[in-house]
Structures are given as C-alpha cells and as structure tokens.
Amino acid sequence: MSGALGKVLCLRKEALSQTKQALSLVRFQLREENPSCSAGNILLNTIRSYKSKPTHGIGRYKHLIIPTESKKKIGKTEMKPISQGTDHIYGVLNVHLTAYDMILVENYAKYVHKLCNDYSIKVEESYALPTKTMEILQMQEQSNKMLLDSILTTHERVVQISNLSSTFAAIFLEILQSNLPEGVNLSVREHTEEAYKERFKARPELEELLAKVN
Amino acid sequence: MAAPLRRVLYGAARGLGRPWRPRTLCAAAAAAAAPGRSAAAPSGRSPWRLLGALCLQRPPVISQPLTPLQVEMAELLQQIEVEKSRYSDHEMRALEEIRKLERKKADLYDSDDDDDDDEKEILLTQDLEDTWEQTFLQFKPHPRVTEADQKNDRTSLQRKLDQNLVLLVKEKIGDQETWILPHAEWQVGETLRETAERVLAILSQNSMEAKFLGNAPCGYYKFKFPQAFRTENNIGAKVFFFKALLQNGDLSQARNKDNHVWVTKEELGDYLKPKYLAQVRRFFMDI
C-alpha cells in the first residue's frame, strides 16, 4: 500500500514540486505516517489537507446576507418624523375610516391601500379596530317604556402610512376627501403609543397585580 | 408639523402707486391689498415680486349621480346578493306568524297547543313593517337641484351641490377689471401660506373658516409687467396658489355681489384669461 502511494507521491512531487500540497505530502513521507491508511482513530487525522485547497468554503453564503432583525411582538419602536433640510416627510400617519356600513368601509379601505401603492407611499399596516355596537331604544307612544330597538354597528378600518412627503400630502388628502363615499368618516392622525396600545386586549389579572404592587 | 417653504423667499416690497395697463394675455398685480411703500430694493434681491393667492374651494355636499352602467351593475349585484342570502331573524318571525295565523283559522285549532308566548305577542312583524313604512314616507330629502341652480345665481354657495366650487373675484387693475383668484402681496417675514391666510381674512372679515391642506403651494403663475412699467428691479410678478377647503361661512355681505363668483371647473373658462386659466386648470381637481 505504502509502496503504491509512494509512487503516486513521487509522481506528484515531480509535477508540482513547488506547491504547498507537495510539501505537505513530502512531510507525510518523511514522518512515515499515513493517516488515511491507518486503521486507527479518525481523531488522529489532525491535518486536513482540503482546508488549504482553493475550494475551501465553497458553499458559504450566510456572510453575504444582510442580517434581518427578528420582529418582536411588544416593544416595536415607532418611526419619528424625518425632517432633513429642505424636504419634509411625515412620520407614521393613521388614516381612520369609520362607517355604519361594513362593505362600504372595507371597499374604501381597499381603495386607499391601492392608491398608496400606486403613489409608492409605504403602507406599514392595514388593520381593523373592533366593531362597536349601539342599541337605539325609542320611546314608545302612549307609554313610558323604551322599546323598538334598532342596532347600529360602527366599523373602523385603519391604514397606516409612512414616507409621505409634505408636498404630496395636500394632494393626497384632497383625493381622499373628494372620493369619500357617503356615510364614511375620514380622520388622519399621527400614530402614537396609545393608538398602538389600544389594539391590545386589556389584561385584568395583570392590572390587578400591578395595583397590588403599587 | 410645519414645513417651511423650500425656496428662499426674496421680495421687493414695492408699493404700487401708479395704475398698471395690463398686457393682452396677462393678469396684472392687484393694488388693493398692499399699501404704498417706498422702494429701496437692494441689488441682491430678485426682480420678481411675490404674490400669494388663495384657491378657496367648496367641496361637494352630495355625491354625484350614478352613470347608467353603474345603476345597472348595482341592481344586478343587489339581486344576486338577495337571491344568495338566507332569511334574517325578522323574516323568520314573519313566516312563523303567518303559519300561526293560518293554524288559528283552521278548524282543527286547539288553543292549548299554542305556546304561552303567543299570547304576549302583541306586536306582529307586519305591524312593525307598517310603522316603518309610515316613518319612511314622512321623510322628505332635500332636492338635488336647488333654487340657486334654477336661477343660475353664481354668487351663492348653494348651487351645484355635487361639484367643487372655487371663488373668483373681480379686481380693478389699472383701467381694466379682470377676474382672478384673490391674492395679496407677500410681506417680509411671513410665509406665503400666511399671505394666503391674510387674503382669506381680508375677503371674509373673519366670517369664513377654511382648512388649508398643506404648507406647499399647489400651482404658480408668472407674468411680466408691460414694457412701459418695467424697471430694473421690477420685471414682473409670480403668483403662488394655495388650496383651502371651505368649512363654513360665506363671504361677508359687505362685499358687492357683482365682485365675486363661485364657479365650477367648466365655468372657469367664462371668466379667466387663457394663460391664467391654463395654470389654474392644472391644480383644480375635478372628480
């Protein structure tokens, strides 16, 4: 075995006498160790020759990707308005659409979303706030009782926008207002911490514990 | 979030002592607002004078009527929706009551079989529907075509309820009266939007409330003074238009009826000069 290897090694030696590989192979011969042939432990194989080859690390790609931050549920920071020099860009704005008719408000929210996409205004989120039900009791004639209910549900949809420039804001608002359908109320507000916290459900146990601690 | 204007504002605050003779195709500057000031323009200032103008719009009050195609489509969708839907609570109750009434009329009626609830049911769904019908008939909506439309009274705000109306004023410039959007001369130390707000205050004497949509102007018009009145430092003027939506109020009654009009986009051509009109058309939105 070693004889045949020795021949191969010699041939190699002649061909690539100046390369590192040849030197390392020569080193093998001198030491009279041939780890690849030994029947012993794999751990004895301390010198890995392929690490020095040019193809080392050929499959590596993770170092080329831009690391994305993992999104946390709570503790998401808000964007502050960017005011640099001449151009002024609004921070995060919330467009609230409220109506009694759910189909109308949803379709209009869809329209606003598409409009923002067309004008390359970034839409951060598009969510719905819980519906509020209102019961209307009418006074019955010839009696003091309140009867004859009707139930009204108020639906609210929010489209969250960022990166709106102040020059375009006026035009954008005018488009929104002129295309508003009947029965839909429009309100554009800045996004605040309270508005963000409003979406979460109240946790009575937590509040109780906090009250106990304080 | 105030956004100061992008351009550095130069201004030569000159008083207009003499009346201007307007050029054929240009609207000249108004002498109304700015008091006479002594001219002392340093050489570094630009020779253009700055004016802030107000495009006061009354947004439409009612929605525009649907086109025939839209009407057809709406009816079709409604029909599909009704045919695919299920009975609501109210309709179920109505059907139940019809069945109960039929059973009562039948000879095999046995009062013990009926539930107790039936006795307490004074108000049938049919009665409810009748009362609703009555209240609906009592409701009378306002007519779409108002009096002002019929009279074609252009100074009133009640006409053309489904379209945008803009305010035009007639200013006496030199020896000619031209229709323009109301404007005022820019004074040092204020932003152009404040100039436009000043125009509003002067026009309405604080009886009108308007909402400005932003700090940036929506359009501009540049014109040169006629040759006879040009000097080194006074070539012409630039008018910057600001858009505002009227919330409530109207022009003060003190103002003469002949001097102001509320017009729609189509009617703008009747009043404005061609080049001025071309610039105004660019920012006056129509639905």
Which pLDDT score, from 0 to 100, does residue B137 have?
Answer: 93
Q: B2-29 pLDDT, tens per residue?
A: 444 444 333 333 333 333 344 433 333 3
Report residue B38's pLDDT band, with 50, 70 and 90 as the boundaries: very low
Burial pattern A162-192, b for ≥16 Cβ within 10 A else e, equals: bbbebbebbbbbbebeeebeeebebebeebe
Burial of B251 (0-12, 13-18, 19+ CB in 10 A): buried
- Identify the residue among B192, B213, B218, B247 best suited for mutation to test binding to A, counting A beta carbons within 10 A and taking the highest: B213
Considering only alpha carbons, which residue of chain A is nearest residue B214? A170
* pLDDT of chain A, 214 residues: tens digit per residue: 455 555 555 555 555 545 555 455 555 555 555 545 555 566 666 656 578 888 888 888 988 988 877 665 555 555 555 544 446 788 788 899 999 999 999 999 999 999 999 999 989 889 999 999 998 887 777 767 777 678 899 999 999 988 888 888 888 998 998 889 989 999 998 888 788 888 888 888 888 998 988 8
Which pLDDT score, from 0 to 100, does residue A48 have?
Answer: 60
Residue B167: phi and psi, rounded to 5, are -90, 130
Residues of chain A positioned with their CB less than 8 A from the CB of B1: 81, 88, 90, 166
Helices (H) and strands (E) in chain B, counts: 8, 8
Q: How far apart are the first and last CA of chain A?
A: 82
Is A143 or B245 the better-scoring residue by pLDDT?
A: B245
Element (H, E) at B209: strand B209-212
ipTM of the complex: 0.71
Burial of B240 (0-12, 13-18, 19+ CB in 10 A): buried
Q: Between A90, A177, A182, which is nearest B1 by CB?
A: A90
Whether residues B216 and A173 touch (CB distance < 8 A) is answered with no
Structure tokens at B251: 């022009």
Q: Between A81, A166, A179, which is nearest B214 by CB?
A: A166
Size of chain B, expressed as the number of residues it contains: 287
Q: Does the pLDDT of residue B258 top 60, yes or no?
A: yes
Give this prediction's pTM: 0.68
**Paired sense of beta strands B48-58 and B236-248, if any:** parallel
Whether residues A169 and B63 touch (CB distance < 8 A) is answered with no
Which pLDDT score, from 0 to 100, does residue A106 have?
Answer: 94
Which pLDDT score, from 0 to 100, does residue A49 have?
Answer: 58
Q: Between A81, A87, A173, which is nearest B213 by CB?
A: A173
Average pLDDT, chain B: 74
Which pLDDT score, from 0 to 100, does residue B273 have?
Answer: 81
The answer to whether the CB of B284 falls within 8 A of the CB of B241 is no
Considering only alpha carbons, which residue of chain B is nearest residue A147? B123
Which residues fall within 8 angstroms of residue A59, CB to CB, at 6 or more apart? none
- In order, the DSSP letters of B213-228 are --SS-SEEEEEE--GG
CA distance B149 to B160: 7
CA distance B62 to B60: 6
Q: Given CA atoms A165, B10, B202, B266 in this order, what sign does their dihedral have?
A: negative
Is B58 or A1 the better-scoring residue by pLDDT?
A: B58
Q: Closest Cα of chain A to B226: distance in Å?
A: 33
Considering only alpha carbons, which residue of chain A is nearest residue B60? A178
Report residue B235's pLDDT band, with 50, 70 and 90 as the boundaries: confident
Structure tokens at B25: 């195709």
Phi-psi region of A52 (alpha: psi -120 to 50; beta: other; left: phi over 0): alpha
Mean pLDDT on B235-259 = 76
Considering only alpha carbons, which residue of chain A is nearest residue B286? A178
Q: Does the pLDDT of residue B240 top 70, yes or no?
A: yes
Structure tokens at B105: 């009329």
CA distance B40 to A39: 104
CA distance A126 to A121: 13
CA distance B178 to B284: 19
Which pLDDT score, from 0 to 100, does residue B8 have?
Answer: 35
Among A151-160, A202-211, B184-193, B206-215, name the most confident range: A151-160
Q: Does the pLDDT of residue B245 top 70, yes or no?
A: yes
Residues of chain B positioned with their CB less than 8 A from the CB of A88: 1, 3
DSSP state of A81: P
Residues of chain B positioned with their CB less than 8 A from the CB of A87: 6
Q: Between B1, B60, B213, which is nearest A170 by CB?
A: B213
Asked if A177 reaches chain B (Cβ–Cβ under 8 Å), the answer is yes
Q: Between A170, A178, A179, which is nearest B214 by CB?
A: A170
Mean pLDDT on B91-110 = 82
Phi-psi region of B60 (alpha: psi -120 to 50; beta: other; left: phi over 0): beta
Which pLDDT score, from 0 to 100, does residue B174 have?
Answer: 58
The answer to whether the CB of B185 falls within 8 A of the CB of B50 is yes
Whether residues B214 and A86 touch (CB distance < 8 A) is answered with no
Asked if A182 reaches chain B (Cβ–Cβ under 8 Å), the answer is yes
Whether residues B63 and A175 touch (CB distance < 8 A) is answered with no
Which pLDDT score, from 0 to 100, does residue B190 have?
Answer: 81
Angle, nearest 10°, between helix axes B125-138 and B89-105?
Answer: 130
Q: Does the pLDDT of residue B40 top 50, yes or no?
A: no
B212: nearest Cα among B228, B224, B195: B195
CA distance B88 to B23: 71
